[in-house]
Amino acid sequence: MGLLSIDELKKLAEQPTGLCVSIYMPTYRLGQETQQNPIRFKNLIRQAEELLGEHGLKESEAGKFLQPAKDLDREEFWENQNNGLAIFVAEGVFNYYRLPLNFNELTVVTDRFHLKPLLPLLTNDGLFYILSLSQDQIKLFECTRFEAKEIELEDVPKNIDEALMYDETAKAGQFRINTSRGGTDNSFQRSGSYHGQGSPDRDNIQVDLLQFFHIVDRGIHKYLQGKNAPLVLTGVEYLFPIYREANGYPHLVAEGITGNTKLMTPEELQTEAWKIVEPIFSKAQQEALTYYKESAAAQRASSDIKEAVPAAFYGRVEQLFVALGLHQWGNFDPQNNTIQLHSEPETGDEDLLDSAAVQTILNGGIVYAVAPEKVPDKAPLAAVFRF
């Protein structure tokens, strides 16, 4: 599977109730160490079976429950890995992700999936996009600081000729779309006029490019709609100001990647683009820290887990810092608004740090999953409240 999106995270978080198994393991990609992958995997599966047994499942039931995950254990599966593997199993649900994160080994069985180790892909480590521009090729990449994935574009013209519907062989002349500034009613069709060979309009390449980029902008709108991720342009520099005039996406960044970037791999583009967007994410996190301090002074923030967890559940958390690698086991009863904390996991417990982070995301808040020393007040979590 490709990059994990926040929509996929929400789907995992909103799975039906029942026992949910979450398995995280680091994976080797090269060398003899790859032989450790299936051994480590089998050990984690055995842990999951034992935990399911503690929840009342017989050995045969636990084995059947985990069968979709067991079926992954094939030589060809282990030949194609990333830095980490995340597996999620529930009744009627099975998802796995090869991800560019170095997970610690972890198996969790509760009444929902354990998702906190995934948050660096979706929070402060940033989702961003790269739009590769040229007259004969348009590409869009979804990226994080770790990885890049090309998006299969639909309703986006492959090149300028397709967009403007030139027919070089037509004896009667060439069809040309007339497009007002701001785009067309759809990606490809609009009432037009005919221009013969050598039309001054055809000779004005900047006019054609602007029209082309209006169509491209409308075409990629469905992929970027509702996002607030930075968009980085790549291509020949003279194209950038023309595209900016057509652009309707509010998070297009000022700096781009210039040159003959069509020869660069997605990974090379991602590396160059990360240099541009990383300061944006760092600045956002620093501003969030300042905002937390101001909110704490106004008694609108807290690092007390007994305050933050219920607030996250009820949609009151606007912003949350949560420590990676730490766990606070216990449970929260929303009906009675009671919370219990345990030093070690007990049957029926969940990681309340994970719960707070997921509930904050589901309720539209922002989560910063950071190293423990970067959480304000040196606490395992810190929340800013909406009210």
In 3D, which of 229, 269, 22, 246 has the Cα closest to residue 129? 229
The residue with tokens 């760092």 is 282
Burial classification of residue 285, based on how many CB atoms lie within 10 Å of its CB (0-12 exposed, 13-18 middle, 19 or more buried):
middle
Question: What integer pLDDT is reported at residue 196 of this predicted model?
Answer: 35
**What is the average per-residue pLDDT within 353-381?**
92
- Does 154 score more than 50 pLDDT? yes
Structurally, at CATH architecture level, domain 6-114 sits in 2-Layer Sandwich (3.30)
Residue 3: which pLDDT band, with cuts at 50, 70 and 90?
Answer: low
Question: What integer pLDDT is reported at residue 273 of this predicted model?
Answer: 96
Give the contacts of 81 (CB within 8 A, at least 6 positions apart). 27, 28, 29, 34, 37, 98
Q: Pick the range with the lowest mean pLDDT from 135-139, 172-176, 203-207.
A: 172-176
Q: What is the residue-wise DSSP string for 331-385?
A: EEETTTTEEEEESS--TT-EEHHHHHHHHHHHTT-EEEEE-GGGSGGGSSEEEEE
CB atoms within 10 A of CB 2: 13
- Does 215 score more than 70 pLDDT? yes
Give the contacts of 93 (CB within 8 A, at least 6 positions apart). 15, 16, 20
Asked whether 119 and 322 are in contact (CB, 8 A), the reply is yes
Question: What integer pLDDT is reported at residue 16 of this predicted model?
Answer: 65
Going from N- to C-terminal start, the domains of the chain cover 6-114, 128-280, 299-385
Residue 145: which pLDDT band, with cuts at 50, 70 and 90?
Answer: confident
Question: What integer pLDDT is reported at residue 8 of this predicted model?
Answer: 81
Mean pLDDT of the chain: 85
Tokens representing residue 1 in the block: 């599977």
- Does 364 score more than 80 pLDDT? yes
CATH number of 299-385: 3.30.1330.30
Question: What integer pLDDT is reported at residue 260 of this predicted model?
Answer: 81
Q: What is the residue-wise DSSP string for 146-175?
A: S-EEEE--SSS-SSHHHHHT--TT-TT-EE
Instruction: Read off the pLDDT of residues 73-112 as tens digits, 9 standing for 90 and up.
Output: 998 899 888 889 999 999 999 999 998 888 999 999 998 8
Instruction: Read off the pLDDT of residues 21-62 as tens digits, 9 standing for 90 and up.
Output: 999 999 987 766 778 899 999 999 999 999 999 999 999 999
Residues 65-75 as b/e (b if ≥16 CB within 10 A, e otherwise) read bbeebeeeeee
Burial classification of residue 236, based on how many CB atoms lie within 10 Å of its CB (0-12 exposed, 13-18 middle, 19 or more buried):
middle
Residue 189: which pLDDT band, with cuts at 50, 70 and 90?
Answer: very low
Question: What integer pLDDT is reported at residue 181 of this predicted model?
Answer: 39
- Does 308 score more than 50 pLDDT? yes
Instruction: Pick the more confident residue, 292 or 159.
Output: 292
Reported as half-sphere exposure (CB side, CA atoms, 13 A), residue 234 has a value of 26
Question: What integer pLDDT is reported at residue 13 of this predicted model?
Answer: 85
Asked whether 3 and 144 are in contact (CB, 8 A), the reply is yes
Question: What integer pLDDT is reported at residue 184 of this predicted model?
Answer: 36
What distances in angstroms separate CA 320 from CA 225, 380, 384, one per listed residue?
24, 11, 6
Backbone angles phi, psi at 236, to 5 degrees: -70, 135
- Does 231 score more than 90 pLDDT? yes
This prediction's pTM: 0.67
Residue 179: which pLDDT band, with cuts at 50, 70 and 90?
Answer: very low
Read off the DSSP letter of residue 275.
H
Question: What integer pLDDT is reported at residue 11 of this predicted model?
Answer: 84
Asked whether 157 and 137 are in contact (CB, 8 A), the reply is no
Tokens representing residue 17 in the block: 């109730």
Instruction: Pick the more confident residue, 170 or 248.
Output: 248
E strands, the chain, are 20-26, 84-90, 93-99, 106-110, 128-132, 139-143, 148-151, 174-177, 192-195, 231-235, 257-258, 301-302, 317-323, 329-333, 338-342, 350-351, 366-370, 381-385
